Chain A
Amino acid sequence: MIEIRLHSRGGQGGVTAAKMLAYAAFLDGKEATATPMYGAERRGAAVVSYIRIDENPIRVYSQVRNPDLVIVLDRSVMETVNVLDGIKPDGKVLINSATPLELEGHETFNIDLTAIALSLEMKLAGNPILNTSLLGALAKYGLVSRESVRKVIAETFKDERNVTAAMQAFEELKI
């Protein structure tokens, strides 16, 4: 089972990203669950979502304590949240960042999803839309197939720029 923790801010589309990722894994023939953690969330607050992907039906409902992969959609959350908390010794990190960041002891992948969104003028309520490009990056990472990502995004959003953003992120992420 692959366990993922996704850090974002309310309004960035982290929950939608988690949902689309689970859907894409499902289309790949795997089992998946996505669980947003709800508290006093609001636009701008640091929020966390959990995703589990497995070959077998998923029976675990408690929070992801020891993630295999940590995703950080907004690196400013790292000022207040220890995103590496409980990460597996060989756990990896994927960060949306304009300047490459290396987290000690863990293989770190950087990609500027914000730049992709801005280059395509993809904004919602003033915020760059990051979740669809994130899915492209995760396809490159190998979590889900590119075909499933394309299908899920096309089903979720009418605007074709979302698929373009995902494919651009797929090309840009260096593995």
Chain B
Amino acid sequence: MLTVGTGNKAIASAVRDAKPAVVAAYPITPQTEIVEEIANYVSTGALKSRYIPVESEHSSMAACLGAAATGVRTFTATSSHGLVYMCEMLHMVAGARLPIVMANANRSIGPGWNINAEHTDSLSMRDTGWLQCYVASAQEAYDTTLMAFRIAEHNDVLLPVMVNLDGFLLTHSIQPLRTVEVGDFLPPISLPHAIDMDNPGGYGTLTTGDVHFKFRWDMERAMRDSVHVIEETQKAFAEAFGREYGMTEDYRTEDAEVIIIALGTMGKEMEVAVDQLRDEGVKAGSMRIRWLRPFPVLDLAGRDVVVIDRDYSFGYGGIVAGEIRAKTGTEVFSVIAGIGGQEVTYNDIATFVRDRRPGGELWFGVEDS
């Protein structure tokens, strides 16, 4: 069906169409519209689901954990302070191998108080064992949320998935949205370790050093296996609904001598900078990282790389720049830009590329960085 909606509305529509049995959530700006819409779907009967209003994000994830452990499809959404408040439960859910899907509206963490886009919230949760995807349009938010359920619930994965969308830039941007008839694209969930009242067992019991690492190795193996599940799911989605997605979205990279890398909406706007640079004779291309966990294979050999981080690890550097350096061995020009919703245009991005200093770091807007 053709309609228009915000990024938030797109997520809520995908949840309605994926029909989770349980949604437990706490509203927080700029995610609020997601849970309002879902609550509305439940109250009007458009979504036959148990909606559990809770008093905090820690509780919302705890409620999702309990529900998911019974073997039903489960969803929640949060942002910023809400996400870091549920940090402990993020580890619990991944460790318990529960395929919960969560949307996170990327937002800065205070103080100073700021409700605008930044990726430090989700990137600081990158080691919890959740798969992480970053989207760049309302349509991609809808499509990815549907795919997230299939990927998380696949028995080769059984790990939770976080779908990240930029606060306000995408959560509140009104865009065209094409919803689908999900049909058998989403098979019923079948959790092999679901609580079974007829066969009681222990969950989360004490594990000592001689076995605990095996659980962690299992998680890592599932994370590695998730790559083929993601690729297969994205292929099935393209076949069923005609829209194609990859681990990354590559733009004019074939003969590129310099590649720009970013997450989220800036990763889309940088395509306009690429066009501008190409018109000037600069062989530029861009890679928007969609899946940050599992980390994609990036072909960067022999090219200059400019990474734009809307985040920072204090005392270290841009988080995505650091990951790319470590994973590919490539020297990068690291740009810190867009933090707390700082305005960054395609003209600015083109300037980062023109003025690149391989191995250097630039804080956009800071004179002596």
Q: Which residues of A contact B (CB under 8 A)?
A: 18-19, 22-23, 26, 31-36, 38, 57-63, 65
Contact = CB atoms under 8 A, between A and B. Distances in A.
Interface residues of B, number: 25
B227 interface: no
Contacts of A36: 172
Contacts of A38: 30, 115, 168, 172
Nearest to A34: B174
Contacts of B300: none
A33 B173 contact: yes
Nearest to B115: A38
Nearest to B2: A26
Main secondary structure of the interface of A (DSSP, over half): mixed
A61 B172 contact: no
A62 B173 CA distance: 11
Given A26-B2, A26-B4, A60 B269 contact: yes
Contacts of B54: none
A61 B176 contact: no
B125 to A, nearest CB: 24
B315 to A, nearest CB: 30
Interface of B: 2-4, 30, 115, 137, 166, 168-170, 172-176, 265-266, 268-269, 271-272, 343-346
Nearest to A36: B172
Given A26-B2, A26-B4, A63 B174 contact: no
Contacts of B176: 22, 26, 31-32
9 contacts: A19-B174, A26-B2, A26-B4, A26-B176, A34-B173, A36-B172, A59-B269, A61-B169, A61-B265
Contacts of A62: 269, 343-346
B166 to A, nearest CB: 8
B274 to A, nearest CB: 10
Main secondary structure of the interface of B (DSSP, over half): mixed
A22 B4 contact: yes
A133 to B, nearest CB: 20
* Complex A-B, nearest 7 residue pairs according to Cβ-Cβ distance, in ascending order: A34-B174, A61-B265, A62-B345, A23-B4, A19-B174, A35-B173, A26-B176
Nearest to A21: B174
Contacts of A22: 4, 174-176
Contact of B4 (A19, A61, A63): A19
Given A22-B4, A23-B4, A26-B4, A60 B272 contact: yes
A59 B272 contact: yes
A61 B173 contact: yes
A63 to B, nearest CB: 6
B137, B174, B343, most chain A CB atoms within 10 A: B174
